[in-house]
Structure 1
């Protein structure tokens, strides 16, 4: 395989960076596949104590969103909302949001980025933490959307008896979202509040 001539970036030539750009474009095209592989690997991983794997939680959440008539942005975001659990357990919500940010509307990204704080309403009191952490976002236009996301698709998706759709069901949706042009203003819809509608 052809490689660049430099060992320090500052010494790279135009030809070097054109070569890298070609490889980067191929790499970008494989994003959805890498995400699906990471999700699949989470089928064997979970934090001890849960009744289901991290993959099953993702599938339950996404299935609920799909069955609720959510649009593809919401279904894919729900599938990926906890993808950072293994790699960034202290800030998994922000990790997932950054993966999604270039490809979905900003309301969806904001909800994924903040769902960790919003979920605390269900359990924080058991740790003597503040269950109302989400109240600091009360004035944000996406506040209610995040409340609804957590209630309808996230907090209730830990059921070993739930009939989830398989990961393969969502593969084309993930491919579709991650094949979009990154940071397209028509996709990001900055500041628009639609709630959990498509």
Structure 2
């Protein structure tokens, strides 16, 4: 006997409208727990040191977010700063892009763009030590988010490796994470495609 809570197909092309209505219904609780999974991943980052650094991955995110909040940044920027390296655990070679995809459905487009590109912008501070082009970010010099990404890296990312910095706790940022991931995914009113916001508020540059 077929379980009424299980689809009828073994190949997706054979699925019925009823099957996909069932899957949509069953997926809702999972989608609703996205913030929990993000917070769990941050907790795991607290158990993994950044090899050679003085702090954990979690502490780096907390420092970045704390600096953003103290700069007067809005919730999208603060959560972006908190989660800008969340992809590091599974995708260390392209963590910036993975991190951006985690937040992209729920934050302004410019915040997602900055998180997606912060890796190449961050190379400005160390790339020359490896024989890389530290100015590789100049390929984006005409992009409207160039200045935002440069400032994000200067003020909140490259500066946040200090074991003595008085970061706020993950519990402090948890309500912000839940608010952002509680938004309707890909809501145009949230994404505001083409709008460029300053890092210290939501006004246009």
Does the TM-score normalized on the shorter chain lie above 0.5? yes
Long gaps (5+) in structure 1: none
Quick one: which of 122, 147, 150 aligns to 1:147? 150
Query: Is 2:175 the partner of 1:172?
Result: yes
**Cα separation, 2, equivalents of 1:7 and 1:189:** 39
Q: Take 1:189 and 1:11, find their aligned partners in 2: how far apart are those partners? A: 37
The Cα of 1:47 is off from its aligned counterpart by 3.3
Per the alignment, residue 51 of structure 2 pairs with 48
Q: Matches of 2:174 and 2:43 in 1, distance apart?
A: 11
The equivalent residue for 1:162 is: 165
Q: 1:5 aligns with which of 5, 8, 28?
A: 8
Alignment: residue pair count: 198
**Residue aligning to 1:100:** 103
Distance 1:183 1:11 in 2: 28
Partner Cα separation in structure 2 for residue 23 and residue 88 of structure 1: 29
Return the alpha-carbon distance in structure 1 between the equivalents of residues 38 and 108 of structure 2. Answer: 19
Counterpart-to-counterpart distance in 2, 1:193 and 1:12: 42
Residue 125 (1) aligns with residue 133 (2):
no
User: How does 1:53-92 map onto structure 2 within 5 Å?
Assistant: 53-92=56-95
Q: Which blocks of at least 5 consecutive residues in structure 2 are unaligned?
A: none
Q: For residues 42 and 104 of structure 1, what CA distance do their matches in structure 2 show?
A: 22
How far 1:14 sits from its partner (Å)? 2.3
Q: What is the rounded CA distance, in whole Å, between the counterparts of 2:14 and 2:113 in structure 1?
A: 39
User: Cα offset for 1:92?
Assistant: 0.5
- Taking structure 2 as the reference length, the TM-score comes to 0.93
TM-score by length of 1: 0.96
For the residues of structure 2 that align with 1:19 and 1:107, how far apart are their CA atoms?
Answer: 35
Alpha-carbon contact 1:51-1:158 (below 8 Å) kept: yes
Which residue of 2 is the match for residue 34 of structure 1?
A: 37
SS in 2 for 1:84: helix
**1:186 matches 2:189:** yes
| Structure 1 runs, 4 residues or longer, greater than 4 Å off | none
